[in-house]
Chain A
Amino acid sequence: MAISGLIFVGFVLGHMYGNLKAFSGHDAFNEYAHHLRELGEPMLPHEGFLWIMRAGLVIALVVHVACAIELARRARKARPVKYVVKKHTGAIPASRLMRWGGLAIFLFIVWHLINFTIGKVNPQGGPTDDPYNLLVDSFDVWWITLIYLAAMAMLGAHLHHGVWSALQTLGYTGTATSRARAKTIAFAIAILIAGGFSLVPIAVMTGIID
């Protein structure tokens, strides 16, 4: 769980960096998208790196979701009769949103891939072979941007608990101080990623990028 989670974290960080290139304009971004595909050549075939990464992601995803389902199953079996009244002292809301949040993220990714990679649907019917334009056109549509922002909120929450949880699971939180540190790191990463990703759509919306 922790490992797969952190792989995701790694990916999204990289991915966000890529997205932010959108600020440096049309060419830089496409250059990057293009570069992604040539990365590692000639050692790797065209798009080789990308495929390795994709493979990695898919495996991680399978593991991640499998663990998630198993944990949820055990939790349900562990408490067949629910409480009439139950407070949640000591828990951050995010920690109890993981399962639904995860699902939401999952759905988002599906849509996202249709939108940008596999399906390449351009909601404005414009060209889809140009990632930059595809992106800009997409986020000019308010409801798409909204979906994205919502998804980013979810992701932020997921990471706020997820990253701390992973560190705890891996046993890096042996003392009160290291525990506090882990919590800050988790919060920072969550803000960074959710925020970072959100910039692009917002920017497009507000016309900073066009």
Chain B
Amino acid sequence: MSAGNMNLTLKIWRQTGADDKGGIHTYEVSGISQDMSFLEMLDVLNEQLNELGEEPIAFDSDCREGICGMCSLMINGEAHGPEVTTTCQLHMRSFKDGDTITIEPWRSSAFPVIKDLCVDRSAFDRIIQSGGYISANTGSAPEANSVPVPRDNAVRAFNVATCIGCGACVAACPNGSASLFLGAKITHLGELPQGQPERWSRVVDMSAQHDHEGFGGCTNIGECTAACPKEIPLDVISQLNRDLRTAMKHGH
């Protein structure tokens, strides 16, 4: 692993605030090592900019472990870049010396740009507020083992509960749909016995909120699942559609 020897050209979207038009700026960075994470590479650039007296580029990240969902970035036209992982877990060994890398924020009217590469994803919180929970007041819970959950359901619920709410699915979808995120939550709660009582109202209310937030409709293109760092499968969207249909039948 050759250390500290990559030179890159970065084309980065800069935008001072919500009402600024914004545009692409071009920067050169040198001395990038293959062991750096993509965000550490941007840290290096920001140090350089700070030196030069140019305001550093704003981008989101927190855990830098691929679990909090705070980081984003459209990298060369792919959400979270070329690997199946989050931007913070993407490492520079996925790039070559001399590469030109274009970096843009998530693009969605439901995710307005705050500054540079930071967007506002509170639409996801509002989708959860509209029904993405199981109503169980503290203290009211029965003994945990009183309700066994068949292992297969438990496993499927877990596999889709791993969604980190990053929004890459929306960013990648040509329709700007959040169906994968929505389907993941519907499937997680729908697989569990505890999730049954609110199952039908949940899917109706959450879908309504999804559309209300201005996300596009799903036409099953599949770019979302390809971009998803947690590999949430397309069948959650199928599940979403099926639950929605059943709910309609039940007159919700």
Contacts and interface: CB of A to CB of B under 8 A. Distances in A.
A178 B239 CA distance: 12
Contacts of A179: 233-235, 238
A84 B238 contact: no
A95 to B, nearest CB: 4
Contacts of B98: none
B238 A78 contact: no
A118 interface: no
Nearest to B216: A78
A82 B102 CA distance: 14
A43 interface: no
B50 interface: no
A79 B109 contact: yes
A136 to B, nearest CB: 39
Nearest to A87: B77
A85 B102 contact: yes
B109 A87 contact: no
Top-8 shortest CB links A-B: A90-B226, A171-B242, A78-B176, A78-B216, A87-B77, A85-B77, A75-B175, A165-B220
Nearest to A99: B219
Which size bracket describes the interface of B in this complex?
35 or more
Contacts of A178: 235
Given A84-B11, A95-B220, A95-B222, A168 B108 contact: no
A83 B222 contact: no
A201 B221 CA distance: 32
Interface of B: 11, 13, 24, 74, 76-78, 102, 104, 107-110, 172, 174-177, 211, 214-217, 219-227, 233-235, 237-239, 241-243, 245
Which size bracket describes the interface of A in this complex?
35 or more
Contacts of B174: 75, 88, 91, 96
11 contacts: A71-B216, A71-B219, A78-B214, A84-B24, A86-B77, A87-B77, A91-B221, A95-B222, A165-B219, A168-B241, A171-B241
Contact of B175 (A78, A81, A171, A175): A78
A78 B220 contact: no
Contacts of A24: none
A80 B235 contact: no
